[in-house]
Amino acid sequence: MPSISSKGLNMPESPIRKLVPYAEKAAKAGKKIYYLNIGQPDIKSPQIALDAVANHNLEILAYSRSEGSEEYREKIAAYYNRNHIPVTANDIIVTTGGSEALLFAMGTICDQGDEIIIPEPFYANYNGFATASGVNIVPVISKIENNFALPPISEFEKLITPKTKAIIICNPGNPTGYLYSKEEIKKLASIVLKHNLFLVADEVYREFTYDGDKHYSILQEENLSENGIIIDSVSKRYSMCGARIGCLVSKNKEVISTALKFAQARLSPPTFAQIASEAALGTPQSYFDEVIVEYKGRRDLLIDKLKEIPGVKVGVPKGAFYCIVELPVKNSDNFAQWLLEEFDYKGETIMVAPAAGFYSSKGTGLNQIRIAYVLNKESLLSSVEILKHALKEYKD
């Protein structure tokens, strides 16, 4: 029998999606499931974006340019400039989701066996992208006790080797909801400049910040023009996860020209999705104002109710719509599967994402889960009630 590649064997399963078969079986058995495991907002996509596709006048669904249509990139650049991020259309490559932008970034700046430092816990698919790219992740551990604050710069410097090519952050963070302050971004800028590294910032949740805190982009730092790379996406900003449109942004011309070669190899991003995404840029600020009020209300309700459960510890998110929850269990993978296979409370159960998959350090996060508060408040209340009863019944 032909053998599978070691790269394929080493590709990690998604902690978010691997429990789907158990959820499907539970649903067929008649259980109602509250899906807290995946960042699929229940917020409606902007009508302006849906209408742009419905009312198109295309007669041929043709390839677009490999870097994305000029019209769309011009409008993205205008959006960034409104957010005090001074870039042009030539600094942008449109990608098939933020996922492809991350793959392009790793392919552009890393060779086989190179290292990227990432504060953990981090977006689980960074593990997969790194494996696919032959890159080694070197984690800097942040802790729930400190609300996942950025570790001291000295912790980063201890890990830098001749193989280190970049630091990656997600800001605001998935899975923690942590929002990096302006001062923290400046500290990261100083270390990448000192050691001649790239700073890659996944900023797909830029709009979603709470309590008066503001997002500060790495490309607001003028001295990062050669070292900074932004990863972005329409998925969460406009609740358009299925559009699969993102972008890679950098003022480093060599980064853009190299990433373009990867873009050319996959031909072009999808045309209809670009049409929808371009139209979505016309979404009024009132849309975001309402969405942020809704998410903040959900966050406050969820965190307050989780803190009432004995033995539960939770990080308080400053942005995005996720939180890490520490449970009084030994293994959250087993617990999450048990919730779907063996447990229900009044015919209902929950699906959560075990947090170990958001770490690269073995044995870390085993008693934690990630919750996405993308459901309405009534559903979140029901979910916490289910969790409370499940923890009373569960035996490790």
Mean pLDDT, range 179-200, rounded to an integer: 96
Q: Is residue 382 part of a domain?
A: yes
Claim to verify: residue 204 and residue 247 sit in the same structural domain: yes
Under the banding of pLDDT at 50, 70 and 90, the label for residue 248 is very high
Mean pLDDT, range 261-282, rounded to an integer: 97
Is the peptide bond between 121 and the residue preceding it cis, with omega within 30 degrees of 0?
yes
Question: Residue 15: what pLDDT?
Answer: 74
Alpha carbons 59 and 292: distance in angstroms, whole number:
39
Query: What are 101's two structure tokens?
Result: 């932008």
- Is 140's pLDDT higher than 90? yes
Question: Residue 265: what pLDDT?
Answer: 98
- Angle in degrees, CA 251, 131, 264, rounded to 5: 45
Alpha carbons 73 and 254: distance in angstroms, whole number:
18
Alpha carbons 319 and 70: distance in angstroms, whole number:
31
Claim to verify: residue 276 and residue 152 sit in the same structural domain: yes
Q: Is residue 93 part of a domain?
A: yes
Claim to verify: residue 243 and residue 312 sit in the same structural domain: no
Claim to verify: residue 169 and residue 229 sit in the same structural domain: yes
Question: Residue 396: what pLDDT?
Answer: 83
**Tell me, what CATH number does 123's domain have?**
3.40.640.10
Answer positive or negative: Cα dihedral of 304, 306, 310, 314: negative
Question: Residue 355: what pLDDT?
Answer: 95
Q: What is the pLDDT of residues 79-105, one digit of tens each?
A: 999 999 999 999 999 999 999 999 999
Domain extent, residue 11, equals 6-44+286-393
How many folded domains does the chain comprise? 2
Q: Is residue 223 part of a domain?
A: yes
- Is 305's pLDDT higher than 90? yes
Under the banding of pLDDT at 50, 70 and 90, the label for residue 14 is confident
Alpha carbons 273 and 269: distance in angstroms, whole number:
8
Claim to verify: residue 167 and residue 76 sit in the same structural domain: yes
Half-sphere exposure of 181 (CA within 13 A, CB side): 7
- Angle in degrees, CA 85, 86, 89, rounded to 5: 110
Under the banding of pLDDT at 50, 70 and 90, the label for residue 242 is very high
Q: Is residue 274 part of a domain?
A: yes
Claim to verify: residue 52 and residue 193 sit in the same structural domain: yes
Give the range among 19-23, 73-77, 150-154, 364-368 with minimum mean pLDDT: 150-154
Mean pLDDT, range 16-39, rounded to an integer: 93
Nearest one of 139, 150, 124, 149 to 315, comparing CA atoms = 149
Alpha carbons 93 and 73: distance in angstroms, whole number:
8
Claim to verify: residue 174 and residue 263 sit in the same structural domain: yes
pLDDT: is 15 or 76 the higher one?
Answer: 76
Claim to verify: residue 248 and residue 312 sit in the same structural domain: no
Amino acid (one-letter) located at 233: S
Question: Residue 16: what pLDDT?
Answer: 72
CB 259 within 8 A of CB 108: yes
- Last residue of one domain, picked from the residues 229, 256, 280: 280
Nearest one of 316, 324, 317, 315 to 371, comparing CA atoms = 324
Alpha carbons 196 and 214: distance in angstroms, whole number:
28
Claim to verify: residue 96 and residue 199 sit in the same structural domain: yes
Q: What is the pLDDT of residues 55-77, one digit of tens each?
A: 999 999 999 999 999 999 999 99
pLDDT: is 297 or 13 the higher one?
Answer: 297
Q: Is residue 150 part of a domain?
A: yes
- Last residue of one domain, picked from the residues 280, 300, 323: 280
- Is 178's pLDDT higher than 80? yes
Q: Is residue 1 part of a domain?
A: no
pLDDT: is 280 or 396 the higher one?
Answer: 280
Q: Is residue 220 part of a domain?
A: yes
Alpha carbons 48 and 378: distance in angstroms, whole number:
28
Q: What is the pLDDT of residues 344-354, one digit of tens each?
A: 999 999 999 99
Q: Is residue 222 part of a domain?
A: yes
Residues near 187 by beta carbon (within 8 Å), at least 6 away in sequence: 150, 153
3-state secondary structure 165-181: EEEEEECCCCCCCCCCC
Beta bridge partners of 324: 370
Q: What is the pLDDT of residues 312-355, one digit of tens each?
A: 999 999 999 999 999 999 999 999 999 999 999 999 999 999 99
- Is 385's pLDDT higher than 90? yes
- Last residue of one domain, picked from the residues 251, 280, 309: 280
Claim to verify: residue 187 and residue 89 sit in the same structural domain: yes
Claim to verify: residue 51 and residue 40 sit in the same structural domain: no
- Is 154's pLDDT higher than 90? no
**Tell me, what CATH number does 332's domain have?**
3.90.1150.10
Claim to verify: residue 214 and residue 320 sit in the same structural domain: no
Mean pLDDT of the chain: 96
Is the peptide bond between 162 and the residue preceding it cis, with omega within 30 degrees of 0?
no
Query: What are 301's two structure tokens?
Result: 């309700």
